[in-house]
Amino acid sequence: MTEGSITRKLILFAIPLFLGQLLQQLYNVVDSVVVGNVLGKEALAAVSTTGSLIFLMVGFINGLFMGSGVIIGKRYGAKDYEGVSVAAHTGIAFALLMGIVLTVVGFFFTPVLLTWMGTPADVMPNSVLYFKIYFLGGLGNVMYSACCGVFQAMGDSRRPLYYLIVSTVINTVLDILFVKFLGFGIGGAAAATIIAQFISAGLAFIKLTRVDGPHRIFLKKLKMHRETLAKELKIGFPTGVQNSVIAIGNVVVQSNINAFGSVAMAGCGSYFKLEGFVFLPITCMSMALTTFVSQNMGAGKLERVKKGALRGNLISVGCAEVIGVLVYAFAPLMLRMFSSEADVLAVGTTQARTESLFFCLLALNHCLAGVLRGAGKTTVPMAVMLSSWCLLRITYITVIVRIIPVVNVIFWAYPLTWSVSAVIFLIYYFRADWVHNFSKEA
């Protein structure tokens, strides 16, 4: 990432990420498609209501590993290959520990968390069952993300794609087999997901133990280096908090949606699954920018950093708005893959057409955050998300829903908070000397 055409490097790195994220979304959507069409809208609502909680817990832990990727990228750019090895082993060892923690917490605290969200009584049993089984695969989820983070920090975005292709096919086949033909119900959908997660994690980890490079993992060296872990957490912890902040805001949104019943839950859940596809070019360019910035800062190529940041933002914003227009136009057709019930489609279409034309702002937020993370400035995105995507979003919903008790007003929470955070990010990006004043602790 430190040599050659900037635009070409960013796009070539982002394309495998995009394909991988596309498969990841298909991987997640299969549960909703099979459950919604085979088991009905109550079961679809149960799967949908778990999404915010899953991101709350998994998002925090995965955010921690962003610090590992930034450290590896900077050391690799600076040609500190021994440092790369130490950072990679520390990150993977930490992932093993956190995967176990996620499994235990997710499994045992499921009923409490769903109760806090105000999950309706008719949806609660299926939600609890799905959530508990899903988190039995917590270790696989975390290990896959950590292993992929190592590959991506080294500039390799293709290997994770290969493993994800295999696990997506397995998840799809098992979903149909377990739910439709064997009648395992919603538990079968969750079981299919965790089996696929462990397979993808296993493939990625095995490759890391055989790859030729400074990031190769040796089992006897697999331990947490205290100083390196502290540096990784210093960068990664704010990103983990940022992910949790976003998730907390979304949990509040979901809790208010739950109050409108299973139709609103199913309709919004269908839209959120669709929206996940919209995020793909946004999140992929954001990830590409983080790797690009960290490697080039490690190499001391600061002018290249600024050029790459500008080009990456322009590409992502443009793609997001084109997709937004398409979603606005074809939302009813797109949502039909989750449910054919008219009331569910009406809710999902309304939400899609409220938010889709503002996707350009969402892209700008994520890409500027990706640039700053690559520079080691992870506390800035955390602060912006905390103030806008959590506090402002919660305040808006708490006040407005009491005044206008209609589910449609909840949808406007997203464009409003995207707009505010975009303004704050732009002010910091252009006024702060984040390029020269970056962390040298890597």
Per-residue confidence (pLDDT) for residue 208, from 0 to 100:
94
- pLDDT band of 439, cuts 50, 70, 90: very low
Domain parsing of the chain, residue ranges: 6-431
Q: At residue 46, does pLDDT exceed 70?
A: no
Measured CA distances, 123 to 184, 199, 347, 422 (Å): 17, 30, 18, 36
- Taking the CA atoms of residue 264, residue 266, residue 267 and residue 273 in that order, the dihedral angle to the nearest 10 degrees is 140
In the predicted model, what is the mean pLDDT of residues 199-213? 93
Q: At residue 238, does pLDDT exceed 60?
A: yes
Q: At residue 361, does pLDDT exceed 80?
A: yes
Structure tokens at 119: 């999950």
Distance separating alpha carbons of residues 84 and 149, to the nearest angstrom: 13
pLDDT, tens digit (0-9, with 9 covering 90-100), for 394-436: 899 889 888 988 888 888 989 999 999 999 999 999 888 777 6
Distance separating alpha carbons of residues 28 and 277, to the nearest angstrom: 11
Per-residue confidence (pLDDT) for residue 353, from 0 to 100:
92
Per-residue confidence (pLDDT) for residue 436, from 0 to 100:
67
Alpha helices in 154-261 (DSSP H): 159-175, 185-208, 226-258
In the predicted model, what is the mean pLDDT of residues 183-199? 87
Per-residue confidence (pLDDT) for residue 183, from 0 to 100:
84
- pLDDT band of 441, cuts 50, 70, 90: very low
Per-residue confidence (pLDDT) for residue 53, from 0 to 100:
66
Q: At residue 442, does pLDDT exceed 60?
A: no
Out of 17-21, 107-111, 323-327, which region has the weakest mean confidence (pLDDT)? 17-21
pLDDT, tens digit (0-9, with 9 covering 90-100), for 118-177: 777 777 888 888 888 888 888 998 898 899 889 988 888 888 888 888 888 898 899 889
Q: Which residue has the higher pLDDT, 254 or 217?
A: 217
Q: What is the mean pLDDT of the chain?
A: 84
320 CB-side CA count, 13 A: 29
Structure tokens at 229: 């872990």
Distance separating alpha carbons of residues 369 and 89, to the nearest angstrom: 26
Q: What is the 3-state secondary structure (H, E, C) of 241-305?
A: HHHHHHHHHHHHHHHHHHCCCHHHHHHHHHHHHHHHHHHHHHHHHHHHHHHHHHHHHHCCCHHHH
Per-residue confidence (pLDDT) for residue 150, from 0 to 100:
92
Per-residue confidence (pLDDT) for residue 375, from 0 to 100:
86
Q: At residue 341, does pLDDT exceed 60?
A: yes
Structure tokens at 411: 């949808």
Q: Which residue has the higher pLDDT, 94 or 157?
A: 94
- pLDDT band of 52, cuts 50, 70, 90: low
